[in-house]
Amino acid sequence: MSSPVSYTLEGSIGVISVNNPPVNALSQAVRQGIFDAIAEAERDASKVVLILCEGRTFIAGADITEFGKPPAEPWLPEVFDRLEALEKPVVAALHGTALGGGFETALAAHYRCALPSAKIGLPEVKLGLLPGAGGTQRTPRLAGVEAALELMTTGNPIPAGKAFELGLIDKIIDGDLRAGAMAWAEELTGAPVRRSSEQPVPGHDAGIFDAARGLAARKARGQIAPQRIIDCVEAATRTSFQDGAKIEREKFMELMQGEQSAAMRHLFFSERQAAKIDDLPKDTPQRAVETVGIIGGGTMGGGIAMSFANAGIPVTLIEISDEALEHGLAIVDRNYAGSVKRGKLSEDKAGQCRSLITGSTDYADLADVDLVIEAVFEDPELKKQIFARLDAACKPGAILATNTSYQDVNLIAAATKRPEDVIGLHFFSPANIMKLLEVVRAEKTADDVLATCMSLARKIRKVPVMSGVCYGFIGNRMLQPYFREAQLCVIEGATPEQVDNAMESFGMAMGPLRVADLAGIDVGYKARQALPEEMRGDPRSYRVAEVLAEMGRLGQKSGAGFYNYDPETRKHSSAPEVLEIIEREAAAFGIERREIPDEEIVDRLVYGLVNEGMRIVEEGIAQRPGDIDIVYVYGYGFPVTRGGPMHYADAVGIGRVYERVLEFRDRFGAEAWTPAPLLEKLATE
């Protein structure tokens, strides 16, 4: 096989060219190729060495297929040290995205140029890692401590213009990159070799590292990698480059071998896998979606409308009356104003997006749209009526989607004469912010409808996961045992605070009872009322919530739920009156309340998720366990550092999970705690 790296001498310029499609990843062959090219450049007549990449991008990072495997020589730090040691100027010419090891390649060069459209970044933190090939040591020397910390602890890329301002790029090339870079390389003939490793770190505020640690602790709660990045940058200010590089390598290996990075790398691969439908041919055609209709202008409908408008797709929002429509559009206006205020969108961009959303009270205005999404409240009969009207109003080939969180998409599809055009698109609130989209494949959903929606999800910057049809699909179905155990722990002896604090200490973004208060206790109450009694589960697991709902303690929106809320700040505080209700209802059920350890709370809630997740995989509702992890991390606040409930079960050990489930079965009854057959099979075989 030929090397993905070539070296040619063009006049006095030695050109190292990388061609490893699709993204020129730093595989072992690329590393070896660059290493060999450097050796040639050391001994030939070149005056300047230029690094270029073929295809759509500069080196976009490491080769992800090598993640988790023993490192193969040559190691990147070794390659970069030899590159930087060349006694003739080395120029890196960037286009596309120069990320991670790709940008570290450029940092090891002596000069850097880029197209205006290029982006650079050090996103390793998003995999629970740090830049491990000199990035934490070279970046602060070029851009200063503050910029280096921002770049590496957030992992967010920046455009070439910003990188130029920071001193990370030396020249912006307009026009043809190769021609411009060759011309600049000629100009640099005889220029001094300028090694970033030899530059001093610019002056900085002494308190910057403590401030950065506090900020990282708040923004990346529980994550180790941002803190280790800060340690490495601080080392760059206090030690030689060589000593700092040793510290960087030690901390990189510590993270690489740790549970957090393993979990975050699992999510990285799972997100890419979730986008693939196993039984859907790759060449499945897609329908054009250039206009969208939304039924229902409430918080959810408005958020969905914004998701499409933000992607440049015009939206028609349908409401039942002029008053309701005005109210819905006002919600959209407030959301855009908030985005501008928070600096998420410029005023011009917000105005452009908002102009794509129009309103109507007439279904006839949906006659030409390519996709309609129904986003009204969870009333199955109302949804069927709406779909019958859409069937009559929409053109042939229009995709008809329901945003239902629980209902049977097959029954909704049956209300139309074209069930093959019907699909579930379950957005999560607030829909303009939350990344998860459950794409629910009904029995008769056409392949091209499914393929279109999976692709469209990425266009509107969502992470799609396909689910089959069942009550609650993947995410909300798994919530049933999670909330069941949370409320059983409360009635058996824990306080709401203890349950929430235990789960937040585990890493959940918010404890289950605070979530119930945020969503509205009446939501679960109404959903239960719509179910036949035999489907409602153990009455002890919802009795307290039922009493609170009937009292009008609906959560944050009413100022009181499991907690009391300050009307100005919405800050929660414990509610002694709720503890009295809990104790009274426990006595009515004959429950003798006891002290419950935090470990038991966490295990009951998380293993409840895992056990139900095993059933969902076995039934084919989810294609694979990793899909469930993506749903729970992106939709339900499960900690990224745990990798999702299914990965967490693997990390803990399936045998241990199975034993604990058996223990809970013996203590709390087989109805709630019978092990899923797949869990039993994996544990015993």
- Please give the average per-residue pLDDT across 507-528, as a whole number: 90
Has residue 69 got a pLDDT over 80? no
Collapsing DSSP to helix, strand or coil, 255 comes out as helix
> Among the three residues 467, 483, 518, which one is the final residue of a domain in this structure?
467
- E strands, 217-350, where? 292-295, 315-318
DSSP H helix total and E strand total for the chain: 29, 19
Is 307 buried (19+), middle (13-18) or exposed (0-12) by CB count in 10 A? buried
**Whether residue 458 sits in one domain with residue 479:** no
Based on the fold, state whether residues 444 and 529 are members of the same structural domain: no
Which tens digit of pLDDT belongs to each residue from 186-222?
999 999 999 999 999 999 998 999 999 999 999 999 9
Distances (CA, A) of 59 to 63, 109, 207: 10, 14, 35
pLDDT of 616 reads 98
| Residue 213 within any structural domain of the chain | yes
Between β-strands 422-427 and 315-318, what pairing exists: parallel, antiparallel or unpaired? unpaired
Overall residue count recorded for the chain in this entry:
685
- Is the per-residue pLDDT at 241 higher than 90? yes
**386 burial via Cβ count (<10 Å: 0-12, 13-18, 19+):** buried
Tokens of 490: 């409360």
User: Do 524 and 593 have their domain in common?
Assistant: yes
Q: How far apart (Å, rounded) are the C-alpha atoms in residues 168 and 142? A: 6
Task: Give the C-alpha separation, 325 to 563, whole Å.
Answer: 33
pLDDT above 90 as % of the chain:
91
- Does residue 129 sit in the same domain as residue 87? yes
What's the pLDDT score for residue 377?
Answer: 86
Domain of residue 73: give its range.
5-257
CA dist 132 and 104 (Å) reads 9
Q: Are residues 363 and 402 in the same domain?
A: yes
- Specify whether 456 is located in the same domain as 486: no
* Contact indicator for 25, 60 with CB cutoff of 8 Å: yes
* Burial grade of 535 (CB within 10 A; 0-12, 13-18, 19 or more): exposed
Q: What is the pLDDT of residue 526?
A: 83
How many Cα atoms within 13 Å fall on the side-chain side of residue 658? 15
Cα 622 from Cα 440, distance rounded (Å) = 10
Residue 19 lies in a domain: yes
Q: How far apart are the first and last CA of the chain?
A: 42
Position 123 scores a pLDDT of 97
For residue range 381-409, what is the model confidence (pLDDT) as tens digits? 999 999 999 999 999 999 999 999 989 99
pLDDT digit string, tens, across residues 627-664: 999 999 999 999 999 999 999 999 999 999 999 999 99
| Distance (Å, whole) CA 368 – CA 365 | 8
88-116 per-position pLDDT tens digit: 999 999 999 999 999 999 999 999 999 99
Position 328 pLDDT exceeds 70: yes
Domain-located, residue 28: yes
Do 320 and 415 reside in the same domain of the chain?
yes
Choosing from 214, 239, 257, the residue where a domain stops is 257
Same domain, residue pair 411 and 529: no
269 inside domain: no
Domain presence at residue 30 = yes
Average pLDDT for 457-476: 96
What is the domain-level CATH number for residue 552? 1.10.1040.50
pLDDT, averaged across the chain: 95
Do 455 and 482 lie in one domain? The reply is no
Residue 611 has pLDDT above 90, yes or no: yes
548 and 672 inside one domain: yes
Among 657, 651, 621, smallest CA distance to 507 is for: 651
**Residue 1: pLDDT band with limits 50, 70, 90:** low
CA–CA distances in Å: residue 356 to residues 8, 278, 314, 403: 51, 35, 5, 21
The domain total for the chain is 3
pLDDT in tens, 521-576: 988 888 788 778 888 888 999 999 999 999 999 999 899 999 999 988 889 999 99
pLDDT band with cut points at 50, 70 and 90 for residue 489: very high
| Residue at which a domain ends, from 414, 442, 467 | 467
The CATH number that applies at residue 125 is 3.90.226.10
Q: What type of residue sits at position 268?
A: F
Residues 135 and 233 occupy one common structural domain: yes
The whole-number pLDDT of residue 536 equals 83
DSSP bridge partners of 317: 294, 359
Q: Which pLDDT band holds residue 379 (cuts at 50, 70, 90)?
A: confident
Given this model, what pLDDT does residue 577 score? Answer: 96
The whole-number pLDDT of residue 522 equals 87
Active site residues: 104, 124
CA-based nearest residue to 19, from 52, 65, 41: 52
Measured distance CA(293)–CA(387) in Å, rounded: 13
Please say if the pLDDT value at position 65 is more than 80.
Answer: no
State the DSSP H helix or E strand holding residue 169, giving kind and residue range, or none if neither: none
What is the model's pLDDT at position 2?
81
The full DSSP string for 362-410 is: -GGGGTT-SEEEE---S-HHHHHHHHHHHHHHSPTT-EEEE--SSS-HH
Name the CA dihedral angle for 199, 158, 119, 48, rounded to a multiple of 10 degrees. -10
Is 280 a member of any domain? no
pLDDT at residue 599 greater than cutoff 90: yes
Asked if 277 contacts 468 with a C-beta cutoff of 8 angstroms, the reply is no
Closest C-alpha among 124, 156, 108 to residue 229: 124
- Whether residue 271 lies inside any domain: the answer is no
Determine, yes or no, domain membership for 631.
no
| 311: CATH | 3.40.50.720
Query: What CA–CA distance (Å, rounded) separates 386 from 388?
Result: 5
Q: Are residues 340 and 489 in the same domain?
A: no
Longest Cα pair distance anywhere in the chain, in angstroms? 91
Confidence of residue 597 (pLDDT cuts 50, 70, 90): very high
The string of pLDDT tens digits covering residues 263-273 is 999 999 999 99
